[in-house]
A and B are shown apart, each in its own frame.
Chain A
């Protein structure tokens, strides 16, 4: 139903094909979160995957990093219309994390320190598509940006990249997480503008 708004020409013309519809390039890195920023020391940090048997697979900070960190350069797209291109991240591939986790379940609920949750299909976390990120742009992740560790799932809107990650729970169904219960899309593909439902 789009129509032209009189007098609007727009100042920026991002012709970059890496920019999904409805997104604007930013150079800074905006912060959005629903409540106060949790502050978690890496000495106390722990990451857990809970499978359908109720068994917990746990990693301390050092154990996680010992799985092997890798550097990736990816674009990120926030549902609030900003995107950053070519961001340098460092983290542990979820392929490595899931190497010794057996599960028949196809969905994952990511849990954060502070209570935030978000749902993601397991296949969107595997095959080199997602990481547990510990650094961005050459610096340890700030608490405001989800440090010490956040999920990084760059092919989905960035609310799926849960800040202050503390664990993943395997789920048989695609139950909605925190923002999803408040109307954000269950999947969140930026190229299809799956913002709300």
Chain B
């Protein structure tokens, strides 16, 4: 009755289970976000773009769970998250301000087998479009692409408020090169001498900084609901097929 993407028939799924994560390191990622490195001995292979649930339990048994994208993960090794603080949130302020090395959290995952990228599966180029902390799963894909020495052309368009708000700035600068095009758009303030105007992404700017629809890229868009809605609509205006546009949104919790 309605068309399904061709790759839906037998999607590979990672094994979902509970894990104990021990904090190895926390460090400032941006003025509002922290990078958390966890030791997770039971973590399985997980595709780039996957997420997990963090569950926290208080002494009185009260529990709170939230989903976070995985920035990087090694089976049986370390899982890296980058958590942006939601000022009136319940879990993210704790993770950003209070979490210390040695602390333990419950993790459930890996989750999400749809908004993922695996090397070697397709020869079509990949366009990533990130808004703010929505870059985390897209950074994971770019890093996996680099680590696999995959030659499929990748391009990341990343909208950030200011240079200080760029997640994984050093890693992205290192990854950028012949097989990863990196385009930054600053909405509030740009580095000195930045050639482009500061301001919100426009359809024209998007068109100029993304793989054209004629090249049939797989497109992954992640950011706030407003960002994703707007970008996905513009991408369709620019000729990208709806089935080629994968979206993931954050916000709400």
Partner among A26, A29, A34, A80 whose Cβ is within 8 Å of the Cβ of B246 = A34
CB pair B18 A115 closer than 8 Å: no
Q: Evaluate contact between B57 and A4: CB separation under 8 angstroms.
A: yes
Which chain A residues (1-16) contact chain B, with CB distance < 8 Å? 1-13
- Cβ distance B146 to chain A, nearest Cβ, rounded Å: 25
List chain A residues, Cβ under 8 A from B233.
Answer: 36-37
A112-123 CB mask vs B (1 if < 8 Å, else 0) is 111101000000
A112 to B14, CA, bound (A): 26
A191 within 8 A of B: no
Interface size on A, residues (CB 8 A): 50
A81 CB → nearest B CB, Å: 5
Determine whether the beta carbon of A80 is less than 8 Å from that of B94.
no
Determine which of B59, B104, B232 lies in contact with A36 in the assembled complex, contact meaning CB atoms within 8 Å.
Answer: B232
A31-B225, A34-B246, A37-B229 in contact; A81/B66 too (CB < 8 A)? yes
- Which chain A positions have C-beta within 8 A of B56? 5, 8, 10
Beta-carbon contact of B242 and A2 below 8 Å: no
Assess whether B249 is interfacial by the CB under 8 Å rule: yes
A82 to B104, CA, bound (A): 24
| Chain B residue with Cβ nearest A197 | B16
- Closest Cβ neighbor of A1 among chain B residues: B18
Binary contact readout B218-238 vs A (1 if CB under 8 angstroms, 0 otherwise): 000000010001001101100
B58, B115, B252: the one within 8 Å of A26 (CB)? B252
User: Looking across the interface, which residue of chain B has its beta carbon closest to that of A29?
Assistant: B252
Task: Decide if A31 touches B103 in the complex (CB within 8 Å).
Answer: no
Whether A98 sits at the interface, judged by CB under 8 Å, is no
Interface residue from A7, A33, A81 paired with B247 (Cβ < 8 Å) = A33
Say yes or no: B242 contacts A36, CB within 8 Å. Answer: yes
Q: Is B165's beta carbon under 8 Å from chain A? A: no
Question: Which of the 9-residue segments A88-96, A99-107, A178-186 touches chain B?
Answer: A178-186
Q: Does A17 contact B (CB under 8 A)?
A: no
Question: How far is A95 from B101 in the complex, measured between Cα atoms in Å?
Answer: 56
A174 within 8 A of B: no
- B252–A50 touching, CB < 8 Å: no
Do residues A113 and B2 form an inter-chain contact, with CB atoms below 8 A? yes
Q: Which of A97-149 contact B (CB under 8 A)?
A: 111-115, 117, 144
Would B67 and A81 count as touching, CB distance under 8 A? Answer: yes
Which residues of A sit under 8 angstroms from B99, Cβ to Cβ?
Answer: 7
Nearest CB in chain A to that of B252: its residue: A30
Q: Decide if B249 touches A31 in the complex (CB within 8 Å).
A: yes
Instruction: Give a binary string over B5-29; 1 marks a CB under 8 Å from any A CB, 0 the rest.
Output: 1001001011010101000000000
Write out the residue numbers on chain B whose beta carbons fall within 8 Å of the beta carbon of A48: 1
B63 at the interface (CB under 8 A from A): yes
The answer, among B58, B59, B111, B252, for a CB contact under 8 Å with A82, is B252
B103 to chain A, nearest CB (A): 5
10 closest Cβ pairs, A-B complex = A30-B252, A36-B232, A182-B113, A8-B56, A31-B225, A5-B56, A183-B13, A11-B90, A196-B16, A182-B114
A-B contact pairs, 13 of them (CB 8 A): A9-B62, A24-B253, A28-B252, A30-B225, A30-B253, A31-B229, A36-B242, A48-B1, A115-B3, A117-B4, A144-B225, A178-B8, A197-B16
Known contacts A3-B57, A144-B225; 10 further A-B pairs (Cβ under 8 A): A11-B90, A22-B65, A26-B253, A31-B229, A33-B247, A34-B114, A35-B242, A115-B2, A115-B242, A182-B113
